Amino acid sequence: MKKVICILITVLFALSVTHAQAPEKLTNTSIIKMAKANLSDDIILDEINASAVNFNMCTDSVAVLTNAHVSPQVIQAMKLASGSQSVTPEAVPAVVPTTSAPVETSTQAPKAAPSKTDTTIVDSSRTIKKNTILPDTLSKDSLQEVQNLPTVMKTDEVVPVIPSVTSISMSNTTDKDSIQLNALVYVAPVNELVLFIKQEFENFTGTLTGWDRQIRDSLEVVNRLNHMIGDVEKQLNTRKNADSKAYTQDIILMKKTLSDYRGKYKQLKTNLMLGGTKITKELKTISSGKIHLTGNKINDVANLVSSTNSNPANGENAVPITFIKQKINDQYVGYISAAIGLLVWYQNENTVLQGIIVNWNNKITPLLLKDTDLANKLKPLKSKLEEYKQNSKTYKNEISALKKQISSLEKERKLVYNQMDSGKKQLATYLKQHKVDVQNSLNERLNDLIDNIIYTYQEKMNI
C-alpha cells in the first residue's frame, strides 16, 4: 500500500512539474554563458535535461561552442536534446527502470509551450529522464563537487550577478536632434571642446554598454542556477516527506546535489561583489583620467583663444559647430544605472558650451558690424585723399580736412579692435576658470557615482 502511495505521489509531482511555468528555452548562447561562468558539466547537463531547448547544432555552431570551451560531453547532450525534442512521442526511447519508486513516462504529446519536454537524454555515463533533475540511476561520480571553482575572478570573466536592480530612466530633453551655430573669430576654438565632449560621451557609453552586457550575461546564468536549485528543493522535499523511513541513497544523493548547487550560488554572490569592486576600481581610474584630461583640454582651448588673431578687419571667420542630441540608453542594469549621471553631465556641459558660443558671438557681432561700417566710410575718403594728392597745392585745405576725418575714423576702428582683443582675453580667462569649475564638478559627480554603485551592490548583497 505504501509503495502504491509513493508511486502516486511521484506521478502527481511529475505532472505538476510538467505543467509548471516554463523558463526561457535554452539556446547555444545560454550554454556558452554557463561555460564562461565556470559551471561544471554536471550542472549544465542537468539544466539541459530539465529544460526545453532551442539549440542550433550545425557544423559552424558546434565549432563556435568548441571555441567557447564547451565540453564534448555537453555538446553531445545538446545534439541529443535537439533531436529528442523534435520527434514524436512514439519515437522517444523508454526510460531505464530504477530500483526505487518509479517515475512514469508520459505518453501524451507535449503542449504547444511545455515547461519541460518529457523525453530521455542519453550520454556516455547515464540515462536522464526530463523533469527529473536527479534520477534514481544517477551515479555517485556524476555528483562530484563543482569543479575548479576560482576564488578570484579573472579579468576577462563575466561578472556573475543575482537578480537586477530596477533601471533608472534619463533622457535628453532637447526638442531638436541637432543645433548648428557659427562660432565667430576667437570663439572658433571652442569647437575643439564640443568635439571633445562628444567623444567622451561616446567613450563612456561604450564602457557602460560593456559592463551592462557582462552583468546581463551573468544574470542569465545565475537565474538558471536559481531555477535548478528550486527544482531540486521541491523534488527533495517530496521524496523526504513521502514516508517516515530513513533517507534512501537517492535522497542522500539529491542532498549532495543541492549542496553543490548552493555552493556554486554562494560563489556567484562572492563573484558579484568582486565584479562590483572591479567596476568601481575601473571607474576610479577612469575618473582620475577624465578629470585630468578634461582640464588639459579646456586649458588648451583657452590658449588657442588667446593666440587667435582677433582683428575685426579680417572678418568673422565663422566656424560652423553642430551640437548633436546624443541619446542615452535608459535601460542599463540597475547595478550601474547611477553611472548614467555622467552621460547627463556631458549633455549639460554641451548646453554650457552652446551658451558660451552664443554669449561671445553676441559681443563680437556688433563690433564686426561697426568695423565694417567704419571701413566703408574710410574707403571713399582714402580714395578722395589719393585723388587730391595729385594736386596737393590746389587741394591743400581739402587734404588736411580729409586726413582729420580719416584719423578720427581710424581711431574709432582701433577702439573696436581693442574691444575685440579685450573680449578675446576675457573668454580665455573665463575658460580657465571654467576648467576649475568643470574639474570640481566632475570630481563631485564621479565620486557620487562610485559611492552609489558601491551602495547598490552592498544593499543587494545585504552587507
Q: What average pLDDT score do residues 78-102 get? A: 48
Q: DSSP 3-state assignment of 437? A: helix
How far apart, in whole angstroms, are the C-alpha atoms of residue 250 and residue 256?
Answer: 10
Confidence of residue 439 (pLDDT cuts 50, 70, 90): very high
84 is written with which cell numbers? 529528442
Neighbours of 374 (CB within 10 A): 21
Q: DSSP 3-state assignment of 389? A: helix
Residues in the chain: 463
- DSSP code per residue over 189-223: THHHHHHHHHHHHHHHHHHHHHHHHHHHHHHHHHH
Confidence of residue 451 (pLDDT cuts 50, 70, 90): very high
Name the percent of the chain lying above pLDDT 70.
74
The whole-model pTM stands at 0.67
Instruction: Give the dihedral of Cα atoms 411, 412, 418, 420; nearest 10 deg.
Output: -150
Closest CA to 103 of 82, 118, 124, 87: 118
pLDDT digit string (tens) for 247-298?
999 999 999 999 999 999 989 888 888 888 999 999 999 999 999 999 999 9
- DSSP code per residue over 24-85: PPB-HHHHHHHHHTT--HHHHHHHHHTS-B----SHHHHHHHHHTT--HHHHHHHHHHHHHT
Whole-number pLDDT of residue 146 = 32
Which residue reads 544517477 in cell numbers?
Answer: 138
Q: Is the separation of the CB atoms in 317 and 160 below 8 Å?
A: no
Q: Tell me how far CA of residue 372 lies from CA of 361, 369, 409, in angstroms.
A: 16, 5, 12
Which residue reads 539541459 in cell numbers?
Answer: 48
Amino acid in position 178: S
Whole-number pLDDT of residue 84 = 59
